[in-house]
Structure 1
């Protein structure tokens, strides 16, 4: 089905002072990002759909408000962002990376609530999953398909998602499992929420997970043992996330106590937020999927490969909405999109498996 409308939420900056209504920074942030990309104001104004005169007016207005220059113009070298403008832009990227999954989840929830009030409403597939690029891609493809069912999305940790599935609060629960030596302890962590007899698994993708480091790796970070160095600042995922638990297993194998890792209690909620944190210079390394490192221009040190699954009640598979979802996941368009994500393997996307088939045990 297609929605009659689409709810969207976005973070917004407001600049003001006591007793004054804040002025939105959306226009100047977009302009600064375009200048950073094009290297000159004329091209940035064109990209933003602004006249040259209006663009200059926006820049001058906020230079006056901030009390500092936003641009540095050098003869025959184009236009560059000032250090202040660069930090402003990085702060905006960090905010978007941190807040967008939460806002997308809230928008989906609001969309579902309003859709239920419309006549002839159709049932939606309820997905609870941690934020990831394959999940994000699935939402995008479903919203763009006139035949796909609606999807209600909640971003949750793997354990929260599996607990929701057990309580019948969702139809699909997303969770990741590393290949190799850490598969068993991760699966043991999920075990109490997995009904291996009555659940089936839908394979979404395999992805590369590893350390993010600054371009050129100036700290010469090579692996997990470097997290114990006093000159290395680490940024972790939030408490309860599977990636955080994986980090604890990696540290345990290396014989490194958590107390030896500077920044272990510093938390971010998504792979993109981890990447933004490092790219902005607030940390030297963190763990996440390769796609996020690539999008922020960071170097990547592989640690493990992870399979990402959707768990589903076997009785739900015959429902038309679920069958349509499986059809879309197996479509050349969706599989082709996953294949172009850096660090993703889509060879088994959409395959339906039992636990025995996936893990060699019941």
Structure 2
């Protein structure tokens, strides 16, 4: 029997006073115009004729009272300011809602699998949202992966209460401070727990393409003309940034000229890409996704903690096989700034910290 999976994606609903509703297909057309720069190519990608695509643009230009795209002879098509804002708004909504929707999706797929396929080995993973973590359900072969997005503090606390089997957390490859390692050292016991290496990812500054403001590093975050979009408190990425700022004598990110906070790397990148902030801090893959420039500042280990006995569970053994396999590592290699060469390696907590201090 084939494996059935549910995917949940947000959709838009615009309605005017006369009851006309915006066709969700328009967003797909606008996205491809932005990417391809040609209406013919965009129409083909969406699966509609050129004439229908042109009619769609005219129809919704009338709906909004202004064009969404412009055709230029010999230069293809480009989005107007409104068209670009609509595409950005969709990207931002998806980036903001993605962790919550993925949590719901995981719950629904588990229930669907139980109904259609019976009980299979189950592994409960709590981890912060990220590009590599998103890949894991695809590699959950012959077992159920119950993936719930939580920050490191929540995930490790859940592991201590035995509310999950694996807890994700991250530590910088270098410059590990006592404060940064206090959470895992306080909650993980050398004899009872084990660490599974997941991936290493590149963190840094995400800035507009071409770097129009001449941003070069952390010092520029303190400039009065720079608007910085921060991550939420207790996120591992924000803790890493605060550690770097403190080491450079600049305090914490709380004092930076702020454009607000967001909850995922992609949401940070969407904010910068839309011009609502000048710079954000996050992973290189997010910058690449939104066509931003990137200034690398630190490499970070994404790790998973578990009880030693969990390693013997069939589902955990299957996961380790996938993490060590070529297919998973090739998938991760397609993410800019990600490295999975050590994925699936198991070590004790004290071995990890001793290694990082050398």
Cα drift, residue 247 of structure 1: 2.0
Q: What TM-score do the two structures reach when normalised by structure 1?
A: 0.92
| Aligned-residue offset at 1:212 | 1.0
**Alignment correspondent of 2:8:** 9
Task: Check whether the contact 2:121–2:314 (CA below 8 A) recurs between aligned residues.
Answer: no
What is the CA-CA distance between 1:226 and the residue it aligns to? 1.3
Q: Which residue of 1 aligns with 2:209?
A: 215
Secondary structure of 2:312's counterpart equals: coil
Give the corresponding residue for 2:47. Answer: 49
Other-structure match for 2:97: 99
What is the number of equivalent residue pairs in this alignment? 355
Q: What does residue range 29-108 of structure 1 map to in structure 2 within 5 Å?
A: 29-108=27-106
Distance 1:268 1:326 in 2: 32
CA offset digits 1:273-328 (Å, max 9, x no partner): 11111111111111111111122221111221111111011111111111111111
> Cα 1:3–1:177, aligned 2, differ >3 Å: closer, same or farther?
farther
2:266 alignment counterpart: 272
* 1:8-27 matches, cutoff 5 A: 8-17=7-16, 20=19, 23-27=21-25
Alpha-carbon distance in 1 for matches of 2:264, 2:24: 23
**How far apart, in 2, do the equivalents of 1:155 and 1:340 lie?**
22
Q: 3-state DSSP class of the match of 1:80? A: strand
- Note if contact 2:4-2:113 (Cα within 8 Å) is conserved in structure 1: no
Q: Specify whether residues 55 and 19 from structure 1 end up closer, same or farther in structure 2 by C-alpha distance, changes over 3 A only.
A: closer
Q: Supply the distance in 2 between the matched residues of 1:292 and 1:135 (Cα, whole angstroms).
A: 14
Q: What is the distance in 1 between the residues matched to 2:232 and 2:142?
A: 33
Within the candidate set 293, 296, 307, 2:287 is matched to 293
Give the distance between the partners of 1:173 and 1:260, measured in 2 at CA: 31
1:262 aligns with 2:257: yes
Q: Is 1:337 equivalent to 2:315 in the alignment?
A: no
Are the aligned partners of 1:12 and 1:25 in contact in 2 as well (CA < 8 Å)?
Answer: no
3-state SS in 2 of match to 1:196: coil
Looking at structure 1, the residues matched to 248 and 97 of structure 2 have their Cα atoms a distance apart, in angstroms, of 33
Partner Cα distance (1:74, 1:272) in 2? 31
Q: Report deviation, 1:4.
A: 4.1
The answer to whether 1:305 aligns with 2:299 is yes
The Cα offsets for residues 126-156 of structure 1, whole Å up to 9 and x where unpaired, read as 11100112211222232xxxx4412111111
Tell me what 1:239 maps to: 233
| Partner residue, 2:137 | 139
Give the distance between the partners of 1:340 and 1:46, measured in 2 at CA: 26
Shift of 1:24: 4.6
Alignment of 1:110-149 (within 5 A): 110-117=108-115, 120-142=118-140, 147-149=141-143
Does structure 2 conserve the Cα–Cα contact (< 8 Å) formed by 1:12 and 1:24?
no
**Superposition RMSD in Å:** 2.1
Shift of 1:115: 3.8
Partners in 2 of 1:107 and 1:239 — Cα distance?
25
Which residue number corresponds to residue 250 of structure 1? 244
Distance 1:238 1:305 in 2: 20
Whole-angstrom distance in 2 between the partners of 1:160 and 1:277: 26
Map of 1:161 onto structure 2: 155
| Secondary structure at 1:317 match in 2 | helix
Q: Residue by residue, what CA displacement relative to the aligned partner does 1:250-272 show, whole Å, maximum 9, x if unpaired?
A: 222233245541117x1111111
Measure how far apart 1:219 and its partner are: 1.4
Q: How much has 1:121 moved relative to structure 2? A: 1.8
* SS at structure 2 position matched to 1:23: coil
Do the aligned residues in 2 keep the contact of 1:165 with 1:173 (CA within 8 Å)? yes
List gaps (5 residues or longer) in structure 2: none
In 2, the alpha carbon distance for the partners of 1:24 and 1:161 equals: 40
TM-score normalized by the length of structure 2: 0.93
Distance 1:129 1:47, change over 3 A: same
Distance 1:250 1:72 in 2: 45
